[in-house]
Amino acid sequence: MSKKHKFNKSWLHDHINDPYVKMAQAQGYRARAAFKLKEIDEQDKLIKPGMTIVDLGSAPGSWSQVVREKLAGPGGQINGRIIAMDILPMAEIAGVTFLQGDFREDSVLEQLNEMVGGEKVDLVLSDMAPNLSGVGVADAARMEHICELALEFAQMHLKPNGALLVKAFHGSGYSQIVQQFKAQFAVVAPRKPKASRDKSAETFILGRHLKRYESA
């Protein structure tokens, strides 16, 4: 049996027996990632009715599902606005505006900027990650680039007291991403939810309150 085949079999075994996978299926979420956002939101109270929220790297849509739940009123009507974007297609979620495209392309960014319009955003979420090559330095550079794009978008569109939550990977380039956050946000904190697998280098970085407004 090849090493790759063994790895795939091991991953599949872990995935099938993963309690968060089972919970996601039972509760109607499209992916176990829903519980990462739910846990962070419970700690940091990021999502509130009336907000405008942008979900970058949204497919298959579990984070948008969580946001929708949080913004829904008693009758199920959404109090707020959700704009989602991904390079991959995403099945429709009622009340979520979806844009398919590559966030790294200027034309797609322009479309997203137009969708947001002149309105300032309360929260930008990014569960985006590059396709990993296994070459550490190259993967770190790709991840850093994606985080930088999310940070630039947040700088352009966030309200003064808004927040940005991005996925990052511990290792090469991580400290540089944190430093970039600290240069822009008054409050910066790492988050490692229980739903994020222990073996994974995945960490989330949360930035709140843009500094440029504080010094204005």
Active site residues: 167
Alpha carbons 147 and 19: distance in angstroms, whole number: 29
Q: Which residues are annotated as a binding site for S-adenosyl-L-methionine?
A: 61, 63, 86, 102, 127
Backbone phi, psi, residue 162, to 5°: -70, 175
Q: Report how far apart, in Å, the C-alpha atoms of 161 and of each of 154, 173, 185, 213 are.
A: 11, 27, 10, 9
Q: Is 202 helix (H, G, I), strand (E, B) or coil?
A: strand
Residues tagged in the binding site annotation: 61, 63, 86, 102, 127
Question: Please, are residues 166 and 126 in contact by the beta-carbon 8 Å criterion?
Answer: yes
Provide the b/e sequence for 34-49 (b: ≥16 CB within 10 Å): bbbbbbbbeeeebbee
